[in-house]
Amino acid sequence: MRFPLYYLSLLLLIGSACTSCKKTVTPSPPVPDPNPPETLKLAKPIQAVALCDYNLDETALTAAGWAKTFDDDFTAGLDKWNVWRGGAFNNELQYYQPGNVQIANGALVITAHKETVTGRTHPWDETQKTFSFTSGRLESKTNVSANATTRKVRMAARIKIAKGYGMWPAFWSYGDPWPTQGEIDILEARGQEPNKYQTNYFYGRQEGRNLVRGATGYITASEDLSACYHVYELVWEQNSLTSYLDGKQIEVKTAGGYIDDMFGTTQRITLNLAVGGAFFTALDASKIEPGTMYVDWVKVFTAN
């Protein structure tokens, strides 16, 4: 959700397997990678048991050697975050604005609205564009990195996803220029399928060119993920990305798809609620049902 929309068609041409399609590429011919990645073979879908209103056991993590390096329980302001103002990418329909991001009852509340506004095409393009929806997106001011000094990074958030046709709630991390710093999608969901979500990651050696193939994980949970809070975690290591739902490991992505190349890059945590876009197939915009995404807290732990 960071780059100009007119690049999206080329992204499809280079076969990036971008099911979330938050990324786009530079307008130049694709360059074949001399060492194409092995396609990751993941169970599709993965069945997972979800526990309503589960909360993280930090004592157990501390005992296991994890140290907390970032914590926001949204009881104060948003000083730890940069809040977007502008449109986004991937044929999404929303205009991001601070008014759609609030703190209420100890939670971050991101709400999509159906309303017509005019604003920037995206934050660094002042070209004016008319949008039919508004929503919110914020990115952490603190960066995270799994590297030779800090070999394990654990990103976690307690979230109640947005329900409603056309809603696209997401919890992820990335760095610029995309995808040379990588991207890790911990949670991406479609509001009309509230018991399902996806995981993914991206990496490339040149700006705008993703090399990862077949990395999407499809999770079907036992519960409606919009009905109550659930904890989504991702442990980033040199040769693996391990996902957890409500304290239980559900998936491991392993080296072979450039995970080891992503080791040492720098990313920032992102929370957003998009409306429509290329994440959906044959979306009927007239049926979109604006919803709300709730985030109880976000935490980062590190270990070696």
Say if 35 falls within a structural domain.
no
Q: Are 174 and 1 in contact (CB under 8 A)?
A: no
Say if 235 falls within a structural domain.
yes
pLDDT reported for residue 44:
66
Give the pLDDT confidence of 19-67 residue by residue, as tens digits. 344 443 333 333 333 333 334 444 468 999 999 999 999 999 999 999 9
Say if 36 falls within a structural domain.
no
Residue 16 DSSP SS3: coil
Q: Are 178 and 207 in contact (CB under 8 A)?
A: yes
**pTM for the full predicted model:** 0.87
Give the pLDDT confidence of 228-285 residue by residue, as tens digits. 999 999 999 999 999 999 999 999 999 778 999 999 999 999 999 999 999 999 999 9
**Average pLDDT estimate for 97-123:** 96
> Is the pLDDT at 77 greater than 50, yes or no?
yes
> Is the pLDDT at 192 greater than 70, yes or no?
yes
Number of domains in the chain: 1
Sign, CA dihedral 144-27-4-199, equals negative
Say if 88 falls within a structural domain.
yes
Say if 164 falls within a structural domain.
yes
pLDDT reported for residue 41:
47
Residue span of the structural domain in which 74 resides? 5-30+41-303
Question: Which CATH number belongs to the domain containing residue 292 in this structure?
Answer: 2.60.120.200
